[in-house]
Structure 1
Amino acid sequence: MGRVTLQDIASYTGLSKFAVSRSLAGKEGVSESTRQRVEEAATALGYNRQKPTEEQREITLIFHDKVDSVSYELRTMLQDGMQREAHRLGQPVRLQWTHDANRVEAMAKDSAGIILVGPHEQTTLDIVKASGVPVVRLGWVSPLEQADHVGGTDHEAGIAVGEYLLGLGHRKIVFLQGEEGYRGRRERYYGLRESLEGCPDAELHDLRFAEDGGFIPALLTLQKSGVLPTAMFCAHDGLALTAVSELLARGFRIPEDMSVVGFGDFSAATQISPQLTTIKVQGLEMGATALRLLLERLETRDLSVPARRILIASTFIERRSSGPAPVQAKQLNEASR
């Protein structure tokens, strides 16, 4: 029999390689019963422990430093989730906010592993890949890109919102996209469209506009074409808050005249009246999962394991900004202010 590996012990015990590695290393994150089970299996299989050749090196968390107000709260949750998990597991980490490829290259040289958060440029991605340092991405990756990735369920969220609104009787629904070019928003739209395709009398309208100018002109243009929507799914909570505020100011009742659904479930969602029905993005768990995924990659060092995608399911939060479709859709008065 050849050299006994961590995978051999994992297969023998039915545990993950991550749990086996932490048990044998005496690290936190596993129960005492699991640790004893692994020790017994290692002895039975004749596992030879390798002595560490160097001190434990830091993991570097690199956040792209150009972040808009919409993403800021999510970034904070991701960071908090990573750091909490690192503290729980006794893993040293350091934090950097940068988009400078040269700084990233320097950090890669003395990091055990890297977590990249945000839309880093291709130059940065190429540098990190060339360094050979294990990397986990939090941010969109290219189709079939060979990179470990942790993300949310944007497409599923769109499907869930569509099914919810259809169930309430809404048939003319608007996706309030706002600015174009964000992949997450497109995925939510595609999911919403997919759910509505199964309902022959449902209509979906995609409103795109400069967010600093408000959405009322876009909505008025839609109304002039003969479309009077009764529900809106907004690309993010910020747009939803704007929609609720603008509609209330123009005499709409929420949700009696218009249902509004957001995305994110950030702090402002419960600071307005009516409170916002929305999709809760599990930022803390996404951050913690990214760290665990990177640690597992570091522990195994098995290059034959393909890149993995882990999606953390969002949660539907129903509050008072949504309700049954009205019998008659309300017309937005262009002159009202």
Structure 2
Amino acid sequence: MKMEDIARLAGVSKAAVSLAFSGKPGIGDETRARILSVAGKAGYKPRKSVQAQEAATIADAAVEEASPALLFLVIANAGIVTSQYDRQPFFRELIHFLEQGSRAGGFSLLISAIDMARFDEDLRAIADMHSDRGVILLGTNLNKETLSRIAERLHKLIVLDTCFETLPIPFVYTNNVLGGYQAGTWLCRSGHRSIGYAASDVRIPNFDARRRGFDDAMREWSIAVSSEHEFSVDPMAPAAQAVFRDRIEKMQSAGKPLPTAIFCESDFIAIGVIKSLAELGVRVPEDVSVVGFDDIAEAVIVSPELTTVRVDKEKMVRSAVRLATSLDDSPSEGGMNISVATALIERRSSAAPPSV
């Protein structure tokens, strides 16, 4: 195993690994301990020098100090989860609560990332190092086949933020259908009848579930979403998006009415919609109300503050940690699924339509 492999498994850069082994400043104590722990578990041997020998000794000590520990595993560069996942607001908040929950339970938290381009090789290495450890896997971007392959290797596995009911694996996930339904129902009760939908152009099961819930609400209120008011946007760009902006501008130029409200499949999408509308002089919420999903920290920073569906990330994580720290030898046989409810959080980006 090379230094590049240690960096990938620890979810850090090669430079950070070098700093950890040399004992030089430039990285935090938790990051250094994680790198050394991964290296020690992997049996990594630095080049034979005084510094390297000292680093190897530290790594061995770090392994013992880190036990007992949970592993948080991410499959990067697949779907909406990039190699910089720890900088993405939703996943950054999950990691924060995971660190808190693990510490409260008397466990340390190890974080590793598998690059999808090296999936089989990295998974083998992870399984060799952590076969007896509880593993919480970020499942947001993963399909059924990939989850099955991982579960074959990691027998103490909890999957976070997705659910496939036909897999005998423990899942802890958000009730996305409920959240989409809550958003749609709230808009209808507020008086909106011309409602738009801003969808991610990268599809994951969570987004599909949100759409199902939203469509259920529309059917109950006998409202049809016009094809002109259906938008497909980049879910990773919380900025004005040309494709969305051009569609709105064409409707304005043709004298066609805009939807009085737009439901967005995520807060990042909603923030981009608000910025795009502002560039065209469309006021939020006076002209168009905007509702998001996730309730990330940025939802209260954007102007106006975002009405959104709250995902209880802390409760999800607490449930996952509780399961992961009480696993028997074969938890994947007859797994337990925990669904966490959502709540509509009303802020200033939404109001009754102008005609009401």
> TM-score under structure 2 normalisation?
0.67
The 2-side partners of 1:140 and 1:201 are apart by 29
Residues 278 and 317 in structure 1, CA contact (< 8 A), matched pair in contact too: yes
Residues 60 and 107 in structure 1, CA contact (< 8 A), matched pair in contact too: no
Q: Read off the aligned partner of 2:90 and give its amino acid letter.
A: L
* Other structure's SS at 2:326 match: helix
Offset from partner CA, 1:49-106 (integer Å, 9 cap, x none) = xxxxxx9653321112332489822212222222212211112432112233323323
**1:260–1:279 CA distance, 2 compared to 1 (3 A):** same
Equivalent residue for 2:244? 215
Offset from partner CA, 1:191-224 (integer Å, 9 cap, x none) = 1110010122554543224575341233456676
Which of the numbers 309, 319, 329 marks the counterpart of 2:347?
319
**1:178–1:216 CA distance, 2 compared to 1 (3 A):** farther
Query: Considering only CA atoms, is the larger Rg found in Structure 1 or Structure 2?
Result: 1
The 2-side partners of 1:78 and 1:120 are apart by 17
The 1-side partners of 2:280 and 2:249 are apart by 12
The 2-side partners of 1:276 and 1:303 are apart by 40
The 1-side partners of 2:215 and 2:348 are apart by 24
2:176 counterpart of 1:148:
no
Which of the numbers 191, 206, 214 marks the counterpart of 1:169?
191
Which of the numbers 109, 117, 120 marks the counterpart of 1:101?
120
The 1-side partners of 2:146 and 2:258 are apart by 46
Structure 2 spans left out of the alignment, 5+ residues: 1-65
Q: Structure 1 residue 279: deviation in Å? A: 1.4
2:101 counterpart of 1:82:
no
**1:304–1:82 CA distance, 2 compared to 1 (3 A):** closer
**1:198–1:220 CA distance, 2 compared to 1 (3 A):** farther
Q: Read off the aligned partner of 1:322 and give its amino acid letter.
A: S
The 1-side partners of 2:112 and 2:190 are apart by 46
Q: Structure 1 residue 124: deviation in Å? A: 5.8
The 1-side partners of 2:105 and 2:223 are apart by 53
Which of the numbers 290, 293, 304 marks the counterpart of 2:320?
290
The 2-side partners of 1:122 and 1:311 are apart by 18
**1:254–1:149 CA distance, 2 compared to 1 (3 A):** same
Count of residues in correspondence between the two structures: 272
The 2-side partners of 1:234 and 1:201 are apart by 17
Q: Structure 1 residue 113: deviation in Å? A: 2.1
**1:222–1:149 CA distance, 2 compared to 1 (3 A):** farther
Q: Structure 1 residue 156: deviation in Å? A: 0.8
* Other structure's SS at 1:228 match: coil
Q: Structure 1 residue 273: deviation in Å? A: 2.1
Equivalent residue for 2:304? 274
Q: Which moved more, 1:77-86 or 1:127-136?
A: 127-136
Residues 84 and 288 in structure 1, CA contact (< 8 A), matched pair in contact too: no
Which of the numbers 53, 60, 63 marks the counterpart of 2:71?
60
RMSD of aligned alpha carbons: 3.0
Residues 101 and 123 in structure 1, CA contact (< 8 A), matched pair in contact too: no
* Other structure's SS at 1:263 match: strand
The 2-side partners of 1:188 and 1:312 are apart by 14
2:214 counterpart of 1:192:
yes
* Other structure's SS at 2:294 match: coil
Equivalent residue for 1:246? 276
The 1-side partners of 2:161 and 2:73 are apart by 12
Q: Which moved more, 1:57-66 or 1:210-219?
A: 210-219
The 1-side partners of 2:145 and 2:189 are apart by 46
Equivalent residue for 1:232? 262
**1:139–1:222 CA distance, 2 compared to 1 (3 A):** farther
The 1-side partners of 2:347 and 2:331 are apart by 46
Q: Structure 1 residue 324: deviation in Å? A: 0.6
Equivalent residue for 1:137? 159
> TM-score under structure 1 normalisation?
0.71
Q: Structure 1 residue 109: deviation in Å? A: 3.1
The 2-side partners of 1:142 and 1:225 are apart by 45
Q: Structure 1 residue 133: deviation in Å? A: 1.9
Q: Read off the aligned partner of 2:218 and give its amino acid letter.
A: L
**1:233–1:274 CA distance, 2 compared to 1 (3 A):** same
**1:191–1:227 CA distance, 2 compared to 1 (3 A):** farther
Residues 176 and 207 in structure 1, CA contact (< 8 A), matched pair in contact too: yes
The 2-side partners of 1:122 and 1:184 are apart by 13
**1:63–1:105 CA distance, 2 compared to 1 (3 A):** same
